[in-house]
Amino acid sequence: MNTPTQDSKADLLKLRELTGAGMMDCKQALSEAQGDLKKAQELIRKKGLDIAKKKSTREAREGQIISYIHSGGKLGVLLEINCESDFVAKNETFQLFAKDIAMQIAAAYPLYVSSENIPAADMEREKSNFCDEVKGKPENVQEKIIQGKLSKRYEDICLLNQKFIKDDSRTVQDYLNETIAKIGENIVIRRFVRYEVGGSN
């Protein structure tokens, strides 16, 4: 039986810290990646995405409304996150995830949960903002450029596309997928409102 070296133990702990995955999943990913930490991280993310896709069709009707107040009462967030059972809604991992997402909304000021939530009129306005920049280019090239610019814009205005404030090597979507994989239930970030003193909402 092979005894893990100090280096492999350190990598195992580092991978767990980076991904939040269980020790057995981290061990398996490191083994598959032949000790390559970055590759192992990608394997765990892919596994989380696969699990999230399988769970995404399941109904999520339980959950919680989370409130978060920041900056001495000058900034607040109300957030609804759903899961499949009341038991999971009270789970520590779910609670931590919900708090992190509320902090993300407070800090990064997203306007929508995902690009699918952008109203048609707002989407047309976003597209029209880039039209002047692509004038004179072939039509098929124009569309590709606009789609590229929209994807970049989603990183600013869509919560799931944003870089996670606690770890900018992954997106909020990555964090959601990892949490679904860890908990074993579908989780849906349903809606949120961000309030700021002197703001428009």
- Comparison of pLDDT for 22 and 39, the residue scoring more: 39
Q: Which of 42-56, 58-72, 111-125 has the highest mean pLDDT?
A: 111-125
Spatial CA neighbour of 73 closest among 161, 177, 201, 198? 198
Angle between helices 92-108 and 172-183 (to 10 degrees): 170
Q: Nearest 5°: CA angle at 153, between 194 and 182? A: 65
| pLDDT per position as a tens digit, 138-160 | 877 888 888 888 889 999 999 99
Give the position of tokens 């765990």.
Answer: 44
Q: Per the structure block, which two tokens stand in for 27?
A: 């061990």
Task: Compute the distance between CA of residue 37 and CA of residue 43 in angstroms, rounded to an integer.
Answer: 10
pLDDT band at 25 (very low <50, low <70, confident <90, very high): confident
Kindly report each contact of residues 32-36 with a partner whose C-beta sits within 8 Å and lies 24 or more positions away, as own/partner: 35/8, 35/11
| pLDDT per position as a tens digit, 155-184 | 999 999 999 999 998 999 999 998 988 888
Give the position of tokens 């409102």.
Answer: 193
> What number is the average pLDDT over the span 99-106?
96
What is the value of pTM for the model shown? 0.71
Task: Compute the distance between CA of residue 169 and CA of residue 139 in angstroms, rounded to an integer.
Answer: 34
Taken in order of first residue, the domains within the chain and their CATH numbers are 6-55 (1.10.8.10), 62-114+158-196 (3.30.479.20), 122-151 (no CATH)
pLDDT at res. 51: 60
